[in-house]
A and B are shown apart, each in its own frame.
Chain A
């Protein structure tokens, strides 16, 4: 059996943060087993719906999705702290979170259901009629599941506690700078930076003639002190000179796409994770974690801990990444290649409508891999079935970093990122993950 405590210590030592502290132990206090099972069932049902709503709610681009994942995960963890000796609140650790309302002795299923019902309804208040209908049904049915066999007074107590915590989380979230998404994230007014190295629109969609969420780097982070806490070195200096580092990277994209193998193409598609057609890249990583949690069925507190730390990592990864994207404002490969190498160049994947450097997939994957490796260890074999419903076969990995590396390089295979954006993005993700692992979820 893998000694997770030992692996965790090694992981933390590697980050230089919290070395030697076993803050993420997998064991959990004994709990009421039926209530635990009910609560875990409720949790996974809600998260399944959350991943669908991410896909079907128009404002849910990857940064927005990651933000919601963080708040949901933190809320879950905080819900369990009062009744779980040894757990430590994240209040006072993640930026701006005040201690939640005091309470004790709640049925965890009722509590979690009330909490998630309120949070999901609020975070997805703008979803369409079908999402609203599904939300209503899920609320009704999960409520019945959560309260089955629970005394009314106990159910009432758990519900009240869940709702109180939800309001506490929502009030905190409202002030982070990312709560309001206007015009689907594309600003009404935005002036493109002139110059050959800078990003220009890459498609004919009118809305996307300006880039997505240019202010996201200033959204309040959770574990990082600021959006630029994991700043990156600049990309290779822009040059149109053959033989320059920049031109070489563009040529690598061009030649890779032209000679793509079936396996490389499959990798590109598997990690494409387009908004509105998938749960987005952070949702992909959340899906991986949920599959593992369902497979291994750890205690409830452990599930909440994983969802909290992973959610924070994903959210902070996009804040850090977006801060760098708009700091460097680099043009996409398709723009450069068509301008200087081959006007007929076509990418394999859809080029996202925002600057290139670093790769968002890489930053979020690096952060996720850092946190999940600390939580579960390495090697850690798992199967990723995220896209089975969409007809993409499951893929198997021996570790989270293997998956993260594949997610990163998939963007080069897809023709939408240079290698530097991938390599530096993964490094940035590792840095973000380090900040997350400095948080203490256990006393």
Chain B
């Protein structure tokens, strides 16, 4: 295979002008205060294991108990996975309890993602494992049962650490993608031993047939089905760990209904990029209707924006890296005295200060005793300024943990409208912080699109929220990305000082709803053709 050498991270980087990050006159964003409630929240869990668990270690945030609160399930690595039910009072201390006999206590789990696979209204879990991947059917009350056999799912036997799902047009069940990593049997020369990723398409009658190989695999650590060009047809982005592939790169797969998946080529505009790809976060940051992609790596991270193109109907996947300019390279520790480069894993956009601008959380941690990379590597909380640049606030917010992080979720655990934080650490306990707010009034809304039919959670929809200043926030509903885990549940939007918000849904089937008002400070369930239904937290 020939390859076009274009941007390559870190070692020698693609030639480009190198302006310093823009000086900004934008006011400093309000910094939320996070209270560390790790010791009291009732979660006692560690992502354990040695070499085969140096990657993975995610958390799934979703409601499995049926009370509307996000519960948490964790990968355990060499230890068992675990689920914890959320009993937190609204706006009160975080409180969780384990679920004995949940059925989720499998070992070798590296990542887990929530979605309703069989469309029964109960959220299921896809487990990526060092070994056979497993689909767990949700039974209610945060209990799960293995469903591989019942659903005809062949979990293989590879070392998986990435997952994504989408509902292809006309299908009742989702299409699943599992990302594979190294062949662990290659002990002497593991480099170049990446195994193929797998694509599981549903059968018409439900369940799955034999998987398709997404070959070549380049040691995927994050995957995301995303409608990068707003064509209505998601493609599969795969972020790969260059440490282990040869001749590899980042990937984007065409996924056309009924056709075999095929890679975007250089002729189509896909640019060679080789990074230690570990996590993907996406969000339309600039309001142009197209998602930007944050890619985590080592020593440097990427924020990709589609380059301006003359024909919006024929977009090519040509991206420019704007991380440096916007101040989100997050390439070395910002607290302590460790000058060595950082190692980034899970990344997630979320508005933690409710100012209507998406912020960025990045989980950090050394791979495993890599002496050339930071040992004390604080997680990042990068707050977006009004001019689109970001500033570091992890230390001021109180979340600059120096433990060895992997997965994370930025999620409103106590349903008070302020996003809380849970971080999975390798060989150290999970940490949990409660967001106590900024001290200033700032509005928010939480939305939950729901559809009749199999894709109940409207995966693939785009949500547009317009505030009274005319500012529009857009968000794609995805399953996948991050590192080792994801969320399903309330979509949180900060509103800042806005007192009015209007929401419009682009549903996965292509229909576009009317703009409907939603009241700030409340939870709303959205359904096609229906007025928003206000939901109140229990208690």
Of A105-113, A127-135, A151-159, the one with at least 4 CB within 8 A of chain B:
A127-135
- Given that A133-B51, A134-B187 are contacting pairs, would A203 and B246 also be in contact in the complex, using a CB cutoff of 8 Å? no
Known contacts A130-B51, A202-B16; decide if A137 and B187 are in contact (CB<8 Å): yes
Q: Is A17 an interface residue (CB 8 A)?
A: no
Distance from B307 Cβ to chain A, minimum over Cβ atoms (Å): 12
Within 8 Å of chain B (Cβ to Cβ): is A200? yes
Closest to A127 in B: B370
Contacts of B7 in A (CB 8 A): 350
A129-B369, A204-B321, A269-B5 known; A346 vs B15 contact (CB < 8 Å): yes
Query: If the complex has contacts A128-B370, A202-B16, are A207 and B300 also in contact, measured as CB distance less than 8 A?
Result: yes
- B residues within 8 A CB of A206? 300, 324, 329, 331-332
Q: Considering the complex, give the chain B residue whose CB is closest to the CB of A393.
A: B2
Classify the interface of chain B: helix, strand, loop or mixed. loop
Interface residues of B in 292-307 (CB under 8 A from A): 298-300
Closest residue to B330 on the A side, CB-wise? Answer: A206
A205 touches B3 (CB 8 A): no
**CB-based contact A134/B243 at 8 Å:** no
Binary interface encoding of chain A residues 214-249 relative to chain B, with 1 for a CB under 8 A from any of its CBs, else 0: 000000000000000000000000000000000000
User: In the complex, which residues of chain B have a beta carbon less than 8 angstroms from the beta carbon of A209?
Assistant: 18
Q: Which of B5, B9, B325, B368 has the most CB of A within 10 A?
A: B5
Q: How far is the CB of A361 from chain B (nearest CB, A)?
A: 12
Which interface residue of B323, B339, B372 has the most chain A CB atoms within 10 A? B372
User: A359 on the interface (CB 8 Å rule)?
Assistant: no
Contact B246 A207 (CB under 8 A): no
Q: How far is the CB of B261 from chain A (nearest CB, A)?
A: 20
In the assembled complex, A126 has its CB within 8 A of some CB on chain B: yes
Stretch of B189-197, B471-479, B504-512 lying at the A interface: B189-197
Do residues A126 and B191 form an inter-chain contact, with CB atoms below 8 A?
Answer: no
A347 interface contact, C-beta 8 A = yes
A131 to chain B, nearest CB (A): 9
Most A CB atoms within 10 A — which of B17, B274, B321?
A: B17
Least Cβ distance of B330 to chain A in Å?
10
* Across-interface contacts of B370 in A (CB, < 8 A): 58, 126, 128-129
- Determine whether the beta carbon of B246 is less than 8 Å from that of A389: yes
Choose one: A129, A133, A203; the contact of B16 (CB below 8 Å). A203
Which A residues touch B372, using CB under 8 A? Answer: 58-59, 126, 181, 184
Query: A36 in the interface, Cβ–Cβ < 8 Å?
Result: no
Stretch at the interface among A271-279, A362-370, A397-405: A271-279
Residues of B within 8 A of A141 (CB): 188
Complex contacts, A200 vs chain B, CB 8 Å:
18
What 1/0 mask marks residues of chain A from 37 to 80 whose CB sits below 8 Å from any chain B CB?
A: 00000000000110010011011000000000000000000000
In this complex, how many residues of chain A approach chain B with their Cβ under 8 Å: the count is: 55
Chain A 183-198 per-residue mask, 1 if CB under 8 angstroms from chain B, else 0:
1100010000000000
B382-407 to A contact mask, C-beta < 8 Å, 1/0: 00000000000000000000000000
Contact between A208 and B191, CB atoms less than 8 A apart: no
Q: How far is the CA of A75 from the CA of B73 in the complex (A)?
A: 54
Contacts of B331 in A (CB 8 A): 205-207
Q: How far is the CB of B103 from chain A (nearest CB, A)?
A: 32
Question: Does A129 contact B300, Cβ atoms closer than 8 Å?
Answer: no
Q: Which of these, B11, B182, B247, B373, contacts A274 with CB under 8 Å?
A: B11
Query: B13 near A188 (CB under 8 angstroms)?
Result: no
The answer on a CB contact under 8 Å between A276 and B368 is no
> Do residues A129 and B367 form an inter-chain contact, with CB atoms below 8 A?
yes
Q: When the two chains form their complex, are residues B368 and A128 in contact, meaning their CB atoms are under 8 A apart?
A: yes
Q: Of A181, A188, A353, which is within 8 A of B12 by CB?
A: A353
Q: State whether the Cβ of B531 lies closer than 8 Å to any Cβ in chain A.
A: no
In the complex the two chains form, is A134's CB within 8 Å of B188's CB?
Answer: yes
B13 near A137: Cβ-Cβ < 8 Å: no
B13 and A203 within 8 A (CB): yes
* CB-nearest residue of chain A to B320: A204
B357-371: which have CB < 8 Å to A?
Answer: 367-371
Complex partner residue of A277 from B14, B192, B274, B369, CB under 8 angstroms? B274
Q: Which residues of A contact B189 (CB under 8 A)?
A: 48-49, 52, 134
Residues of B within 8 A of A275 (CB): 11-12
Check if B51 sits within 8 Å of A129, measured CB to CB: yes
State the CA gap A29–B298 with chains docked (Å). Answer: 50
The answer to whether the Cβ of B10 comes within 8 Å of any Cβ in the partner chain is yes
Residues of A within 8 A of B247 (CB): 389-392
Kindly name the residue among B11, B323, B367 whose own CB sees the greatest number of chain A CB atoms within 10 A: B11
In the complex, which residues of chain A have a beta carbon less than 8 angstroms from the beta carbon of B17?
338
Report the Cα distance A269→B4, complex, angstroms: 8
Once bound together, how far apart are the Cα atoms of A202 and B7, in whole Å?
12
With an 8 A cutoff between CB atoms, is A299 at the interface? no
* Inter-chain contacts of A325 with B (CB < 8 A): none
Q: Give chain A residues whose Cβ lies under 8 Å from the Cβ of B317.
A: none
Contacts of A48 in B (CB 8 A): 189
B15 pairs with A276, CB closer than 8 A: no
Among residues 187 to 209 in chain B, which have CB atoms less than 8 Å away from a CB atom of chain A? 187-192
Collect the chain A residues with CB atoms within 8 Å of residue B523's CB: none
Nearest B-chain residue to A276, judged by Cβ: B11
A332 located at the interface, meaning its Cβ lies under 8 Å from any Cβ of chain B in the complex? yes
Q: Quote the shortest CB–CB distance from A210 to chain B (angstroms).
A: 11
Query: In whole Å, how far is A319's beta carbon from the nearest beta carbon of chain B?
Result: 20
| A277 and B8 form a contact (CB under 8 A) | yes
For residue B312, CB closer than 8 A to chain A, the reply is no
Alpha-carbon distance A145/B372, docked complex (angstroms): 33
B244 CB within 8 Å of chain A: yes
Known: A130-B243, A205-B9, A205-B10. 15 other contacts (CB 8 A): A129-B370, A134-B189, A134-B190, A137-B187, A137-B188, A202-B16, A203-B15, A206-B332, A208-B13, A269-B2, A276-B10, A276-B11, A352-B12, A353-B13, A389-B246
8 A-B pairs whose Cβ atoms sit less than 8 Å apart in the complex: A56-B191, A201-B18, A204-B16, A204-B325, A207-B10, A274-B5, A338-B17, A351-B14
Q: Which 4 A-B pairs have the closest CB atoms?
A: A203-B13, A391-B247, A204-B324, A276-B11
Query: Which of B's residues lie within 8 Å of A, judged by CB?
Result: 1-3, 5, 7-18, 51, 54, 182, 187-192, 242-244, 246-247, 274, 298-300, 321, 323-325, 329, 331-332, 339-341, 367-373
